[in-house]
């Protein structure tokens, strides 16, 4: 039994949820999202909550049960609160700035890296060495943050590069004479 899957996803006030077959459509104050639930899981909307049940007792159905419930819960919290990922830039001369619809990164290359900001994502730079990626879709926010980090991941000797705010960089000792 999935401990996560057993819990029903409550629909908060100000949010409208609609179930059409395997598609769960949610509309809230921050926007509208939809998620298609796996065929091995049935979706039931009743009295302000969404319940998910496996259609059979196969291993795959039980595996997708908890996953599907989490996806529906992420959609609910996305349209109410939204998601945010913070990135930090470490290194001399490394900085970021938002210019219109692009994020301009100076990461020690011979050229600036211009990252086009995707639709549905907001990027802010409160400080030149800090990037805040926010949006409604958790998967999209994480993907954009990973793409930005991918331009210059942190290296283990001096820790220079783009890293997540809560990320620990395992530091290595340099060469000895």
* 72 plus 89 within the same structural domain: no
pLDDT value at position 2? 67
Q: How many CB atoms lie within 10 A of CB 137?
A: 20
At 85, list the tokens: 């990922």
Do residues 23 and 11 both lie within one domain? yes
- 23-28, strands of its sheet edge to edge: 16-20, 23-28, 31-36
Q: Do residues 33 and 88 share a domain?
A: no
CATH number at residue 100: 3.90.930.12
Q: How many domains does the chain have?
A: 2
149 to each of 29, 78, 80, 81, 130, how far by Cα in Å? 30, 22, 27, 24, 12
Whose tokens are 């298609």? That residue is 36
Domain boundary among 13, 45, 80: 80
Q: Which domain holds residue 38?
A: 3-80
Same domain (yes/no): 90, 147: yes
Residues 25 and 63 in one domain: yes
Please say whether the beta carbons of 167 and 154 come within 8 A: yes
pTM of the entire predicted model? 0.88
- Residues 58, 15 share a domain: yes
Ranges of the chain whose pLDDT falls below 50: none
| Residue 173 located in a structural domain | no
d(CA 76, CA 7): 14
Q: pLDDT tens for residues 95-113?
A: 999 999 999 999 999 999 9
């Amino acid at each position: 039994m999935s401990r996560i899957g057993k819990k029903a996803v409550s629909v908060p006030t100000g949010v409208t949820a609609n179930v059409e077959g395997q598609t769960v459509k949610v509309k809230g104050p921050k926007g509208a999202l939809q998620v298609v639930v796996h065929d091995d899981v049935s979706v039931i909307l009743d009295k302000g909550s969404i319940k998910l049940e496996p259609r059979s007792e196969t291993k795959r159905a039980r595996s997708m049960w908890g996953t599907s419930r989490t996806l529906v819960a992420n959609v609910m919290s996305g349209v109410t609160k939204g998601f945010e990922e913070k990135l930090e830039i470490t290194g001399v001369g490394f900085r970021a700035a938002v210019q219109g619809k692009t994020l301009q990164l100076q990461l020690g290359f011979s050229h600036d890296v211009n990252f086009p900001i995707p639709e549905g994502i907001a990027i802010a730079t409160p400080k030149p060495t800090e990037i805040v990626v926010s949006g409604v879709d958790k998967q999209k926010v994480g993907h954009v943050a990973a793409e930005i980090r991918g331009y210059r991941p942190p290296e283990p000797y001096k820790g220079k590069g783009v890293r997540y705010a809560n990320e620990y960089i395992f530091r290595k000792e340099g060469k000895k004479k």
